[in-house]
A and B are shown apart, each in its own frame.
Chain A
Amino acid sequence: MTVALALEQLLNGLQLGVMLFLMAAGLTLIFGVMGLINLAHGSLYMVGAFACAATAAWTGSFWIGLVASLIAAAAAGAIVELVVIRRLYDRDHLDQVLATFALILMFSEGMRWLFGSFPLYLDIPPLLQGAVPLPGGTEYPVYRLAIIAAGTLVAFGLYLLISGTRLGMRIRAGESDREMIGALGVDIRTLYTVVFALGAALAGFAGAMVGAIQSVQVGMGEPVLILAFVVIVIGGIGSIKGALLGALLVGVTDTMGRFLLPKLMALFVPPAQAGMIGGAAASMLIYIVMAVILAVKPRGLFPAAHA
């Protein structure tokens, strides 16, 4: 266990965390401002990845694909909000869960209808290929550093948006008291559509960036969705700051866990078994952490001010 390895794993955890933040930020915004549980968020992630892959294949450029993913995801988000989500604001969480669950089914099969069953090809742009040397002697992929950088920029941009613009002000006001801002003359309906589209764009962006180093296939958003929910619950629903901290915590814990737990087990049991038990424990680790945090702080680390 060298410093170089530990550093590399730490960076990996950061990268996973940053990617989770992109998903979680959208989710927590949507819940914080609109009080809506959106299970279809993973589908918007998938839409972004597919849009990027399809556009990149058509134009030959990853960057154009990336822009396309933002537009496609935001558009999909806006359409879904206008047609479906709008009717759910007054409903209880149960109906929202079911409606967005139905949307998952439709999106997944719809994507398969459009693009076929085989995974799509999406590659990293030449600019970001290869690896750079790290202190300690190892190398680290440029693209992953790019993801960390992009995610940090987005986080910063969101912070500026929320704290420094009028839109941000309305969002914050909406989180505090939904009814009041309506009474004060803010166009709630447009605000909600904008927030939903913004959340969707963040998810689509994450999908496109991650799709380049993973597999662009139907259903790719679901495991990420569950993790994103874990993140916002740990961080406190409605809090972007909580989403960032929660995401980093989950990302680093998951990565370090997968790396360290088998080694820990190897102290007690033979290596093949240690791998299996360690692997199993690592996959449960995030949920155990979440349960512990909720047992101590039932509304997450940074609960939003309103009920």
Chain B
Amino acid sequence: MKKMLAAATLALSMSTSGLAFAEPLKIGMITTLSGGGAGLGIDTRDGFMLAIKNSGNKDITVVTEDDAQKPELAVQIADKMIQSDQVDILTGIVWSNLLMAVAPSAVAQGKFYVSTNAAPAALAGANCNKLYFNAAYQNDNLHEAMGEYANRAYKKMFILAPNYPAGKDSLTGFKRYYKGELAAEVYTQVGQTDYAAEIAQMRASGADGIFVFLPGGMGIAFMKQFAQSGVNIPVMGPGFSFSQDVLPAIGDAALGAKASGQWAPDFDNEASKKFLADFQKEYNRLPSIYAVQAYDAAQLILSAAAKASVKDADAFGAELKKADIQSPRGNFKFNVNQHPIQDIYLTEVIKKDGVLTNKTVEKIFTDHGDAYAKDCKI
């Protein structure tokens, strides 16, 4: 009798809660909302919250805090979120150096980390972890794609990046696929604003193509100065150099630049069109790739939360790994190291309805993984 009652109650409660486990889930978002790099963090937060809002899921709480691009603040906030706020999942960090400060210790404390952007090689290979997922890419991917494209299209390349680990990874990734001649390999200072010296070198180099990785304000400064210099060599870069958040500031100087990316606003799959429409309606601007990555991260978490409890790390992790989502990027699945396998496209900067944006040109890589997955032993 008691057993029947218990079973009936259980059946009743399960039927009323429907498919979703009505299990509260707390997510801690640490991202850059102040200072010069805030544009990327704001896109991250907005993309993420859009997916959460669209899902209508009332059991998910997101706690957001600003790391001001300072590693020690990020560590402090992460500690607070884990110890005080009792979050289950951390996400949102834009910069690789802040990620390296937070993610290893977060997963060591048993929390999931789903990255919306930063994807250092250090966490993709031997140091991968079953609690660490990357919804964006692996840092080298977009550079590898440009290397592949340059290998087909150009013979003598001038390559340039800032002198910090992401910059060095960028040129390493480029060279992994580009096998032609290198006119020069130049490392500039992080935060450098004047590229006159480097542009003069480009002019004198005899190269037929230029690859630059200069995120944020550095890229804006470079493109403006390059456009004025009279140097006629085509410029290309990974998607970050020409992302939606910096295009308006570069202006027409960016027109014609080629880039690599997993997504562009002109994608015509259903998920992308819906995402674009929703984002523009909610925030009144075009989303950048950072928003798409965060949106997908949120979708991944939502899809896992619908089928497993975050308290059961193995089950939740298994659901996350299935990547059962409709990504605006199209194909999306996870590799053994829990980094994405996705298609990467060549894009070109155009002006549409008076607004600068990226247009898809052709596919460079299909189902591209990364160079570090083989070292991962999850």
Q: Chain A residues in contact with chain B, CB under 8 A?
A: 2, 4-5, 8-9, 12, 15-16, 108-109, 112, 117-121, 123-124, 129-131, 138-144, 210, 212-220, 223, 255, 258-259, 262, 271-272, 275-276, 278-280, 282-283
Shortest 4 CB-CB distances between A and B: which pairs?
A131-B230, A117-B38, A215-B217, A12-B196
What residues of chain A lie closer than 8 Å to B38, measured between beta carbons? Answer: 112, 117, 218
Closest to B247 in A: A121
Query: In whole angstroms, how far apart are the Cα atoms of A302 and B22 in the complex?
Result: 74
Distance in Å from the Cβ of A144 to the closest Cβ of chain B?
7
**B193 & A262 in contact (Cβ 8 Å cutoff):** no
How many angstroms from the CA of A140 to the CA of B252 in the assembled complex? 20
- Determine whether the beta carbon of A219 is less than 8 Å from that of B35: yes
The contact of A279 among B171, B189, B224, B249, by CB within 8 Å, is: B189
A213 to B185, Cβ gap below 8 A? no
Are B196 and A280 in contact (CB-based, < 8 A)?
Answer: no
Q: Which residues of B contact A130 (CB under 8 A)?
A: 228, 230
Check: B246 CB closer than 8 A to any chain A CB.
yes
Shortest Cβ distance from residue A218 to the other chain B in the assembled complex, whole angstroms? 5
B39 in the interface, Cβ–Cβ < 8 Å? yes
- Complex Cα–Cα for A257 and B204 (A): 17
Assess the A276–B187 pair: CB atoms within 8 A: yes
Q: B57 on the interface (CB 8 Å rule)?
A: no
Question: Nearest residue in B to A132 (C-beta to C-beta)?
Answer: B230
Against A, the Cβ 8 Å flags (1 = close, 0 = not) of B158-191 are: 0000010000100100000000001011111101
Name the distance in Å between A251's Cβ and chain B's nearest Cβ: 9
Give every chain A residue within 8 A of B220 (Cβ-Cβ): 119, 214-215, 217
Contact of B203 with A138 in the complex, beta carbons under 8 Å: yes
How many residue pairs at the A-B interface have CB separations less than 8 Å? 144
Residues of A within 8 A of B253 (CB): 123
Which chain B residues numbered 5 to 39 have a C-beta less than 8 Å away from chain A?
A: 33-36, 38-39
Contacts of A8 in B (CB 8 A): 196, 200, 203
Complex: chain B residue closest to A118, CB-CB: B39
Q: Please, which residues of chain B bring their CB within 8 A of the CB of A144? A: 196, 228
Knowing A16-B194, A214-B217, A214-B220 are in contact, say whether A9-B200 is a contact too (CB < 8 A): yes
Asked if B248 is at the interface (CB within 8 A of a chain A CB), the reply is yes
**Interface flags, B216-239, vs A, CB<8A=1, else 0:** 111011001100111100000000
In chain B, positions 238-295 with a C-beta closer than 8 Å to chain A are 245-246, 248-253
Check A141 against B229 for contact (C-beta < 8 Å). Answer: yes
Residue in A5, A9, A121, A275 whose CB lies within 8 Å of B248: A121
Q: How far is the CA of A214 from the CA of B228 in the complex (A)?
A: 12
Q: A144-B196, A255-B196 are in contact. Are A121 and B189 (CB under 8 A)?
A: no
Task: List B contacts of A210 (CB < 8 A).
Answer: 193
- Check A279 against B188 for contact (C-beta < 8 Å): yes
Is B86 close to A, CB under 8 A?
no
Residues of B within 8 A of A (CB): 33-36, 38-39, 42, 163, 168, 171, 182, 184-189, 191, 193-194, 196-198, 200-201, 203-204, 216-218, 220-221, 224-225, 228-231, 245-246, 248-253
B288 to chain A, nearest CB (A): 10
With both chains docked as a complex, state the minimum distance between the C-beta of B60 and any C-beta of chain A, in angstroms. 26
Question: Chain B contacts of A118 at CB under 8 A?
Answer: 39, 245-246, 248-249
State whether A258 touches B163 (Cβ < 8 A).
Answer: no
Of B197, B201, B228, the residue contacting A141 (CB under 8 A) is B228
Say how far B39's CB is from chain A's closest CB, in angstroms: 4
Q: Which of B194, B221, B230, B250 has the most CB of A within 10 A?
A: B194
Q: How far is the CA of A108 from the CA of B38 in the complex (A)?
A: 12
- Decide: A276 and B168 in contact? CB cutoff 8 A: yes
Q: Are A16 and B185 touching (Cβ within 8 A)?
A: no
A contact residues around B196 at 8 Å (CB): 8-9, 12, 15-16, 144, 255
CB <8 Å contact, B35 and A215: no
* Besides A123-B224, A214-B220, A275-B186, 8 new A-B residue pairs in contact (Cβ under 8 A), listed by A number: A108-B35, A112-B35, A117-B38, A123-B251, A130-B228, A141-B230, A213-B225, A214-B225
**CB within 8 Å for A275 and B249 given contacts A5-B204, A15-B196, A118-B39:** no
A255 to B252, CA, bound (A): 27
Cβ–Cβ contact A117 & B185, under 8 A: no
CA distance A18 to B203 in the complex (A): 23
Closest-by-CB residue of B relative to A138 is B203
Q: How far, in whole Å, are A223 and B217 apart by their CA atoms in the complex?
A: 13
Cα A219 to Cα B248 in complex, Å, equals 19
Q: Give the chain A neighbours of B203 by CB distance below 8 A.
A: 5, 8, 138-139
| Docked complex Cα distance between A217 and B221 (Å) | 11
Is B197 a contact partner of A216 (Cβ separation < 8 A)? no
Are A280's CB and B39's CB within 8 A? no
Q: In the complex the two chains form, what is the Cα distance from A266 to B347 in whole Å?
A: 35
Docked CA distance A262–B189 (Å) = 13
- In chain B, what residue has the closest Cβ to A12? B196
A223 contacts across to B, CB distance below 8 A? 191, 193
For the complex, what is the distance from the CA of A137 to the CA of B201, rounded to whole Å?
A: 14
Q: Is the CB of B249 within 8 A of A119?
A: yes
CB distance from B292 to the nearest CB of A (A): 17
A143 to B339, CA, bound (A): 45
CA A213 to CA B163, docked complex, whole Å:
22
Interface centre among B36, B182, B201 (most CB of A within 10 A): B36
In whole angstroms, how far apart are the Cα atoms of A295 and B366 in the complex? 60
| Distance A4 CA – B204 CA, assembled complex (angstroms) | 9
